[in-house]
Amino acid sequence: MHPKIGSLLSRFPRVELVPWETPVQYLPAVSEAVGADVYIKRDDLTGFGIGGNKIRKLEYLLGDAISRGCDTVVTMGAVHSNHAFVTALAAKKLGLEPVLVLRGREELRGNYLLDRLMGIETRVFEVGKTTELIPIAEKVAEELRVRGKRPYLIPIGGASPIGTLGYVRAAGEITSQSSDLGLEFDTIVDAVGSGGTLAGLTLGLSLIGSRAKPVGMGVGIFGGDMGEKVLKLAEEAGKLLGVSVKLERPRIYDYSFGAYGKIVREVAELIKWVETKEGILLDPVYTGKAFYGLMELAGTGELGERILFVHTGGLPGLFHYGEEMLRLMQKP
Ligand code: 5PA
């Protein structure tokens, strides 16, 4: 761990869910295809449940919940939400009762199947946008309070200043690993959904004084202007840490392909290519779209000569949308 980041974070309660530093690997076939050196930070292997970026945020979110004496956790997301499933799983492990407020149709696949298999309480609503779940989740928390419970409400994707600390910590880990490997990255790229991962990286890299620039690939809008939202979240997390830093608004490119959760053929084809060339599994909602953006922009030189992709997990998405991907790829 980077000493400055380690000392800034030391006073925040954290439950350890990530038992190791996730590996950084070189991707030879991808690098050859785009003409730049591309590495991957394997945060799909964070080591709890299905892995992914949410585990790092949950270390601080659930640490905070426990230190406040909460006994229930309420969070929200789409029915395919990776965040919702791992939050509920980690809450259960720690003895807190989870309630998930979800958007979509109750199809038994992907994460929703896992939610049901693990006996997690779910309440599903057919609303149009995930943000419409916010007042519903607040009502659920209120209902729990009336029943004498102490709920801890986690926003979409864990994108609160506390959750953001998870990726401030990860920025420290990446910086120490890259210096051990003798590498200096020009850009560090990730998929942007709720924005907490990019916000944490932006703040962490800036605190360290790293020359690596955080770059986001937007996979859909979760309310308002994403660049502004990420910057604000990074600034709020900075305040929480008690530091004053002048942060640059990170670059975010739109790789939503028209809508959040829209499954498209180009991404399905790329997932197949990366999987068979590198043995790395991406998903069609987040990492597949972000990696498509990385390859397209790296090919033009826009991301510099040495690029790190943060693999944020999401494997269940392949099992939620796999049939649709196959149908798209089989179309003439
Ligand atoms: C998600 C988000 P941020 O939300 O921190 O921007 O991360 C984007 C992201 N990769 C990247 C994967 C696999 C993700 O699941 N998922 C959300 C969810 O509900 O699962 C928050 C949307």
Which one is catalytic: 81, 160, 194, 210?
81
Tokens of 260: 């959040």
Q: What is the sign, positive or negative, of the torsion defined by CA atoms of 273, 108, 89, 54?
A: positive
Question: At residue 224, does pLDDT exceed 70?
Answer: no
Going by pLDDT thresholds of 50, 70 and 90, the confidence category of residue 128 is confident
CATH class of the structural domain 3-52+159-330: alpha beta
Asked, colleague to colleague, whether 3-52+159-330 and 54-158 share their fold, the answer is: yes
**Which run of H or of E encompasses 73?**
strand 72-78
Distance CA 29, CA 273 (A): 10
Ligand 1 atom nearest to CA at 77: 19
What lies within 8 Å, CB to CB, of 278 at 6+ separation is 27, 28, 29, 30
CA of residue 77 to ligand 1 center, whole Å? 10
Tell me the mean pLDDT in the region 34-45.
Answer: 98
What lies within 8 Å, CB to CB, of 323 at 6+ separation is none
Q: CATH topology for 54-158?
A: Rossmann fold (3.40.50)
Q: Ligand 1 pocket, 157 CB below 6 A?
A: yes
Q: Ligand 1 pocket, 167 CB below 6 A?
A: no
228-244 core/surface letters (b: 16 or more CB in 10 A; e: else): ebbbbbbbbbbebbeee
The percentage of residues in the chain with a pLDDT greater than 70, rounded to a whole number, is 99
Point out which residues pair with 152 in neighbouring strands.
73
Please write the tens of the pLDDT for every residue from 77-106: 999 999 999 999 999 999 999 999 999 999
**Inter-residue contact 167 to 195 (CB < 8 Å):** no
CA of residue 159 to ligand 1 center, whole Å? 9
pLDDT score of 222: 59
Is 81 one of the annotated active-site residues of the chain?
A: yes
Q: Ligand 1 pocket, 110 CB below 6 A?
A: no
Higher-pLDDT residue of 130, 240: 240
37-41 and 306-310 beta bridge pairing:
parallel
Q: Which of 54, 75, 231 should be mutated for ligand 1, with most atoms under 8 A from CB? A: 54
Tell me the mean pLDDT in the region 314-329.
Answer: 97
Tell me the mean pLDDT in the region 304-325.
Answer: 98
Distance CA 162, CA 54 (A): 12
- Nearest in space to 130 (alpha carbons), one of 194, 202, 57: 194
Q: Ligand 1 pocket, 111 CB below 6 A?
A: no
**Inter-residue contact 12 to 165 (CB < 8 Å):** yes
What are the phi and psi torsion angles at 249 (to 5°)? Answer: -65, 125
Considering the chain, what is the average pLDDT of its residues? Answer: 96
| Domain edges within the chain | 3-52+159-330, 54-158
Q: Ligand 1 pocket, 229 CB below 6 A?
A: no
Question: At residue 223, does pLDDT exceed 70?
Answer: no
- Give the other-Cβ count within 10 Å of 107's Cβ: 11
